[in-house]
Amino acid sequence: MSRQANPVPASPSPAPQPVRIGIFDSGVGGLSVLQAVRARLPHAELLYAADTAFAPYGERTEEFLCDRSERIARFLREQGAQMIVVACNTATAAAVARLRATWPALPVVGVEPGVKPAVALSAAHRVGVLATTRTLASEKFRRLAEAHAGGAQLLLQPCPGLADAIETADDTAIDVLVQRYCAPLRDAGVDVAVLGCTHYVFARALFERALPGVQLVDTAEAIARQTARFADELVARGEADADAARPSVLRAWSSGSPHVLASFAQRWLDAQVDVRDMRC
Ligand code: DGL
């Protein structure tokens, strides 16, 4: 007598998985990049990490930034991130090569000051670059400027204290510092200025007032496009689904006060945010 095998119950097909993208910065600045990525990739799940306990990054050493970037990238991968966006010019300059060497198969997108588009826009051939001290002093920035300045004069303006003032939403300090750092650029007659730190995007209106008639360049859109290209590749390889629904709540972590990140995100993003402690 042959034994009848129990029919195997049809297993439900697994729920489609959204592309998971880990994004980090020293603090709230990277939310300006997250905003652009969110708009371009409505189906991706974004995971955001703010290293608030160690901000600002602009005055840190390269070794320190490599170590923090590696820890945060590892943390985001543990939360399921399939790619990493370093939404910080300072950390990119110091650590993007290290991250790519540590995880050769992991797509890593970095942020650099938009020197190339700014030079292309400048009729005066005079471009201001506002960024952190560490970014402007980096070898990566030196190479970027050498490759793309062409015949234009670049006026480099470090902005110590500004990212910190934006982080703490100290409106008076932000105003004073923006005026102070824009004055030399205005006097030099630049017609284009690069916002070379992701925090500065949140003070755009003040930069516009301090630099009347000057075009401001930031790279959030370009980063979103590059991120979308990597996301498409993950979908093409079957590692994520393009039409999965993303969770309605944005998951975020902070190594400092979760409240600072939550209230900033609520003010600037049209999103519900769940901020947890990040220990790494
Ligand atoms: N938002 C960062 C950047 O783009 C760094 C700000 C800081 O922590 O100094 O460079």
pLDDT given at position 10? 60
Counting atoms of ligand 1 from 1, which one is nearest the CA of 30?
A: 1
Nearest residue to 85 via CA among 246, 238, 226, 266: 226
Residue pair 65/134 in contact (Cβ under 8 Å)? The answer is: yes
Q: Indicate which residue's Cα is closest to atom 9 of ligand 1.
A: 58
Residues flanking ligand 1, CB < 6 Å = 25-26, 29, 55-58, 88-90, 132, 135, 163, 197-199
pTM: 0.93
Q: How far is the CA of 90 from the centre of ligand 1 (A)?
A: 5
DSSP string, 210-252: HSTT-EEE--HHHHHHHHHHHHHHHHHTTSS-TTPPPPSEEEE
Query: Looking at the domain covering 115-218, what would its CATH class be?
Result: alpha beta
Residue 10 has a CB neighbour count (10 Å cut-off) of 6
So which residues are the catalytic ones?
A: 88, 197
Residue 175 has a CB neighbour count (10 Å cut-off) of 15
Q: How far is the CA of 161 from the centre of ligand 1 (A)?
A: 10
pLDDT given at position 1? 45
Counting atoms of ligand 1 from 1, which one is nearest the CA of 57?
A: 8
Counting atoms of ligand 1 from 1, which one is nearest the CA of 131?
A: 10
Q: How far is the CA of 85 from the centre of ligand 1 (A)?
A: 14
pLDDT given at position 187? 97
CATH for 20-111+221-277, among 3.30.70.20, 3.30.1330.10, 3.40.50.1860, 3.30.565.10?
3.40.50.1860
Q: What would the pLDDT profile of 173-196 be if each residue is shown by its tens digit?
A: 999 999 999 999 999 999 999 999
Q: How far is the CA of 29 from the centre of ligand 1 (A)?
A: 7
88, 166, 219, 264: residue to mutate for ligand 1 pocket, most atoms within 8 A of CB: 88
Same CATH topology for 20-111+221-277 and 115-218? yes
How far apart are the C-alpha atoms of 51 and 280, rounded to whole Å? 10
How far apart are the C-alpha atoms of 36 and 99, rounded to whole Å? 23
How far apart are the C-alpha atoms of 109 and 63, rounded to whole Å? 20
pLDDT given at position 244? 82
N- to C-terminal Cα separation, the chain: 62
Instruction: Identify the DSSP state of 189.
Output: T
197, 201, 219: residue to mutate for ligand 1 pocket, most atoms within 8 A of CB: 197
pLDDT given at position 270? 77
Q: Is 259 exposed, middle or buried (0-12, 13-18, 19+ CB in 10 A)?
A: exposed
Structure tokens belonging to residue 17: 């998985």
pLDDT given at position 274? 95
How far apart are the C-alpha atoms of 24 and 208, rounded to whole Å? 26
Low-confidence ranges of the chain (pLDDT < 70): 1-15
Domain boundaries, the chain: 20-111+221-277, 115-218
Distance of CA 22 to the CA centre of its chain: 10
